[in-house]
């Protein structure tokens, strides 16, 4: 259908524009797997409909209406990716194609239901921000991991290139969004020597360039360094997340919610026999008692 093709192009332009603006026809052809003449024809159609500004040999930029429509598609796509991983248990390297199919057939009611059942999450499994229902999206500075100088302690923010092979490699290494690593050395070939969960490894420059990260601030911990479960925190107490128990599923869920090692959290309400309401990264998140008991924390000094 033409409407689906239009949405695919708008989404592709939106995703590419942080790396290239205006977005060239050759880049869109590569991203969408079509010929450059086909891209040129569609860009002219989009320009006639007021969705993009297009100049031959330069590329395309979204107009305001084009961006609004692109953000709507991006929201549906990333909600489906989160649903497929968190609810259906699909591998994160397989959800992109499925979400591409589902995003075009999602009604407003289904979209609202997805957001509700997922707890109004704000990132997809790959770490990218999900626009809210009004099209607002949290703007972050995506710094490639390869750009950091040693020594540095950083938190993995997202995987910028959702290639299945790359995602499988990243998952095998454990470098999921939210993971905290130490960059100990930058080698002449651009590769990085890093430390992660008591393991040292060398990350090639290509992989490092596709991972975005942010500097981790120095955190003041309580002097006794006594670890307790998140479920033991009293309402109003603050703590620093230290570690996780449970399997890979629990770890992925914790990281996706922002419960990353080193993050400061505050217990808003501990219902004791039920879920707990916690503030993390300026967002209030409700999690089940069973998951809360698997997260170890250290109380912060008041």
Q: What is the pLDDT of residues 53-83, one digit of tens each?
A: 999 888 999 999 999 999 999 999 999 999 9
Domains of the chain: 2-62 (1.10.10.10), 143-215 (2.30.30.90), 227-299 (2.30.30.90)
Indicate whether 41 pLDDT > 70.
yes
Kindly state the average pLDDT of the residues 223-246. 75
Confidence grade of residue 36 (pLDDT, cut at 50, 70, 90): very high
Alpha carbon distance 198, 84 (integer Å): 31
Residue 246 has what pLDDT? 58
Residue 270 has what pLDDT? 81
Confidence grade of residue 220 (pLDDT, cut at 50, 70, 90): very low
Alpha carbon distance 295, 50 (integer Å): 50
Residue 157 has what pLDDT? 87
Confidence grade of residue 9 (pLDDT, cut at 50, 70, 90): very high
Alpha carbon distance 14, 74 (integer Å): 9
Q: What percent of the chain has pLDDT over 90?
A: 41
Residue 245 has what pLDDT? 66
DSSP type of residue 287: E
Kindly state the average pLDDT of the residues 246-269. 74
For 273-301, the pLDDT digits (tens) are: 667 889 887 788 888 777 887 788 888 76
Decide: 50 and 63 in contact? Cβ < 8 Å: yes
3-state secondary structure of 54: strand
Confidence grade of residue 230 (pLDDT, cut at 50, 70, 90): confident
Residue 213 has what pLDDT? 92
Alpha helices (runs of H) in 141-300, residue ranges in sequence order:
164-173, 205-210, 248-256, 289-292
124 exposure class (CB count in 10 Å sphere: 0-12, 13-18, 19+): buried
Please choose, from the candidates 49, 75, 81, 78, the residue with its C-alpha nearest in 3D space to the C-alpha of residue 62.
49
Higher pLDDT, 222 or 242: 242
Kindly state the average pLDDT of the residues 201-230. 76
Please state the pTM of the whole predicted model.
Answer: 0.70
Mean pLDDT of the chain: 86
Question: What's the sign of the alpha-carbon dihedral 245, 247, 251, 253?
Answer: negative
DSSP type of residue 113: H
Please choose, from the candidates 190, 124, 194, 111, the residue with its C-alpha nearest in 3D space to the C-alpha of residue 152.
194
Confidence grade of residue 272 (pLDDT, cut at 50, 70, 90): low
């Amino acid at each position: 259908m033409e409407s689906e093709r239009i949405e695919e192009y708008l989404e592709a332009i939106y995703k590419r524009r942080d790396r290239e603006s205006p977005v060239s026809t050759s880049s869109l052809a590569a991203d969408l797997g079509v010929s450059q003449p086909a891209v040129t024809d569609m860009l002219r159609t989009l320009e006639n409909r007021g969705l993009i500004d297009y100049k031959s040999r330069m590329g395309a930029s979204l107009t305001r209406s084009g961006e609004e429509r692109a953000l709507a598609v991006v929201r549906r796509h990333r909600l489906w990716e989160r649903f497929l991983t968190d609810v259906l248990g699909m591998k994160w390297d397989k959800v992109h194609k499925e979400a591409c199919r589902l995003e075009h057939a999602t009604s407003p009611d289904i979209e609202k239901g997805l957001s509700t059942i997922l707890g109004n999450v704000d990132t997809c499994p790959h770490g990218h921000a999900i626009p809210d229902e009004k099209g607002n999206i949290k703007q972050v500075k995506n710094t490639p991991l390869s750009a950091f100088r040693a020594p540095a302690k950083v938190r993995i923010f997202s995987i910028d290139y959702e290639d299945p092979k790359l995602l499988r490699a990243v998952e095998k290494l454990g470098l999921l969004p939210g993971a905290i690593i130490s960059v100990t050395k930058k080698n002449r070939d651009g590769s990085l020597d890093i430390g992660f969960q008591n393991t040292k490894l060398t990350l090639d420059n290509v992989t490092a360039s596709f991972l975005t990260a942010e500097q981790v601030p120095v955190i003041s911990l309580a002097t006794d360094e006594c670890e307790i479960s998140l479920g033991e925190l009293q309402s109003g107490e603050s703590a620093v997340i230290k570690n996780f128990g449970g399997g890979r599923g629990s770890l992925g869920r914790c990281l996706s919610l922002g419960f990353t090692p080193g993050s400061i959290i505050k217990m808003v309400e501990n219902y004791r026999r039920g879920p707990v309401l916690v503030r993390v990264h300026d967002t209030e998140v409700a999690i089940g008692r069973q998951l809360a008991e698997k997260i170890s924390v250290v109380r912060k000094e008041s």
